[in-house]
Chains A and B, each alone.
Chain A
Amino acid sequence: MRVWRIEDEDEDENWNQTKRPMNDKPDNWTKLSLAARHAPPQAPREPPFGFATRIAARWASGEVLMSPAPWEKLAFRSLAFAALLMIVSVSVNYDLLDANWLHELPPADPVFGNLLEP
């Protein structure tokens, strides 16, 4: 059977399934999509009552959907990354931190040692 390749199609031609070679048996998806095209088109109805007024009023009141700034898009990802970094650094340095809590390592300055004494 002839293999239908992307390169076979001309750049300027419509690349839809009706351009398939005639000797090719239509596959299941082609048959289904061809049948689906027979569905009656849903007639574009009028906008729902009050829709245009609502949109115009929101726009006039300055309530418009601004595209978020780049830093806003990154904010949540940065927060998650920072939390992950904190967890990794704590787990890597856990021994050191643990030793400090248990006073196994003396504080660098004796002043802090006095403060930490119970």
Chain B
Amino acid sequence: MADGLDVAACLDRVRRRDEAAARELVGHLWPLVIKIVRAHLPRALDEEDLAQEIFMKVFANLDQFRGEVPVEHWVSRVAVSTCLDRLRAQKRRPEWRWADLGEAEAEVLEAVLHNESEPHPSQGMAARELAVKLLDSLGPEDRLVINLLDLEQRPVAEISKLTGWSQTLVKVRAFRARRKMRKRLEELERDELRMMKVRQGTSSSSSSSK
């Protein structure tokens, strides 16, 4: 990372219980941890609370870090496993319907379902929000793998290292998760058609009554 911190020396100082070094290490690792937290944050959880939990785990297990891999890799793994634990603890998985979507999200979905090309890049933010909403309905492992692979574009080998799963398992999980996502989108499409029929029904009945 670009803050010019000598990580090895900082870790040595932290091991000698230097509080200032611990602060420096938190500042150095913050961008990495918050990026992972934001990508995998379960709903109704505060990102700062989750980041705090990750840092406390990092400090609690610092003696187990042997320095065989860069500290950032090790911390990423701790962060991903903590996020996975939190996702597993989340009992409720909302099933979104067409009516629950915002205007921008509905426009993106319309483009995804009915246009040959993908939505316009300017709709990226809404597309991301819609994708995250749909990911909410997946199980924790499926959600994690598809987020890392399809949204963050991480290679399978890296996901395997981060999660501790074999590369084959990562691929199988991604394959199943993608199938579920396609199914969710088809369900939303059916929901849209149902709503359109209801609207047409109400408009024709009101015009005939006039």
Contacts and interface: CB of A to CB of B under 8 A. Distances in A.
Interface stretch (A9-17, A82-90, A105-113): A9-17
Contacts of A104: none
Interface stretch (B4-12, B90-98, B119-127, B201-209): B119-127
B156 to A, nearest CB: 4
Contact of A28 (B30, B60, B112): B112
A37 B153 contact: yes
B56 A59 contact: yes
A32 B48 contact: no
Contacts of A91: none
A43 to B, nearest CB: 9
A37 B124 CA distance: 7
B86 to A, nearest CB: 13
A31 B52 CA distance: 35
Interface residues on A, range: 35 or more
Interface stretch (B66-74, B181-189, B192-200): B181-189
Contacts of B113: 28
Decide if the interface of chain B is mainly helix, strand, loop or mixed: helix
Interface residues of B, number: 62
A83 B126 CA distance: 49
Interface in A45-66: 45-48, 51-60, 64-66
A15 B171 contact: yes
A9 B178 contact: no
Contacts of B163: none
Nearest to A32: B112
Given A29-B181, A31-B112, A52-B23, A44 B34 contact: yes
B27 interface: yes
A29 B178 contact: yes
B108 to A, nearest CB: 7
Contacts of B186: 28
B164 to A, nearest CB: 15
A48 B178 contact: no
B149 interface: yes
A60 B15 CA distance: 11
Nearest to A31: B118
17 contacts: A6-B168, A15-B174, A17-B150, A27-B182, A32-B181, A35-B121, A36-B127, A36-B151, A39-B124, A40-B124, A44-B35, A47-B26, A48-B48, A55-B22, A56-B19, A59-B56, A65-B60
Given A38-B122, A52-B26, A55-B26, 6 more contacts: A11-B167, A16-B149, A35-B123, A46-B27, A60-B19, A66-B60
Interface of B: 17, 19-20, 22-24, 26-27, 30-32, 34-35, 38, 48, 51-53, 55-57, 59-61, 108-109, 111-113, 117-125, 127-128, 130-131, 134, 149-151, 153, 155-157, 167-168, 170-172, 174-175, 178, 181-182, 185-186
Interface of A: 6, 9, 11-12, 14-18, 26-29, 31-40, 42, 44-48, 51-60, 64-67
